[in-house]
Amino acid sequence: MTKNQFFSGEIKVEPIGIVKNGIAQPPLVAKEDGLHRNDAGGSAMETMRGSHVQQSEIVLAPDLAGLLAGIDEYSHIVVLYWGHAVPLHGRRLATTHPAGLEKYPKQGIFATCSPARPNPVLMKVVRLLRRDGTHLFVEGLDAIDQSPVLDIKPYVADMYPQEDVRIPDWMAQIQKEFARQ
């Protein structure tokens, strides 16, 4: 069975908004041989973990204002966005070193948080600082400037597993590295 045999209909996704911030380049660059850290203009590790100092503005289309009613009551939101800077060859990667760090063995793309995916739909839980009409001001978003926003959801911790969550040792080590920076 090929991937196109799973669903015969058309999927059409339209952006609901755009990200505005000072992140000009993605923290990881997808090349033919895998992911590579992009330290141009700042620390890739800091950008990947969504620096708590970095603020972003999410500008939604004016006709979507009603969809934001009540969002201000949440401290955090889930932002789904499109990795528009991932080149076509990056969408074909099957394996990569996690976070572009060659000291870790290559893993399948679906076992990593890599932005290089067949469909670069990326997700981040961020702190919602405030709302001004159709503008959301958030902290911790690792999307680059001008990233199309696909959806926004409230973050409700109890809707996600809290117990018996397991991650590989290499991912735990990467998280420790992010925390040190």
What is the identity of the amino acid at 58? I
Instruction: State residue 110's pLDDT score.
Output: 95
Domain annotation covers residue 5: no
The pLDDT tens digits of the residues spanning 14-43 come to 999 999 999 988 888 888 888 888 765 454
The model's pTM: 0.87
Q: What's the pLDDT band for 53 if we cut at 50, 70, 90?
A: low
- For residue 9, being part of any structural domain is answered with no
- State the residue range of the domain holding 41: 14-156
Cβ neighbour number for residue 4 with a 10 Å cutoff: 7
Residue 150 domain flag = yes
DSSP assignment letter at 78: E
Q: Is the pLDDT of residue 46 over 70?
A: no
Is residue 180 in a domain? no
Q: Tens digit of pLDDT for each residue in 70-119?
A: 999 999 999 999 999 998 988 999 999 998 899 999 999 999 988 999 99
CATH assignment at residue 99: 2.40.30.70
Given a contact cutoff of 8 angstroms between Cβ atoms, the answer to whether 134 and 65 are in contact is: yes
Kindly state whether residue 168 falls inside one of the protein's structural domains.
no
How many domains does the chain divide into?
1
The terminus-to-terminus CA distance of the chain in angstroms comes to: 44
Residue 154 has pLDDT above 60, yes or no: yes
pLDDT-derived band of residue 175, with 50, 70 and 90 as boundaries? confident
The answer to whether residue 70 is domain-embedded is yes
- Asked if the structure places residue 64 within a domain, the reply is yes
Whose CA is closest to 87, among 16, 35, 145?
35
Contacts 24+ apart (CB under 8 A), 10-16: 13/82, 13/150, 15/82, 15/148, 15/149, 15/150, 16/60, 16/61, 16/64, 16/149, 16/150, 16/151, 16/152
Residue 4 lies in a domain: no
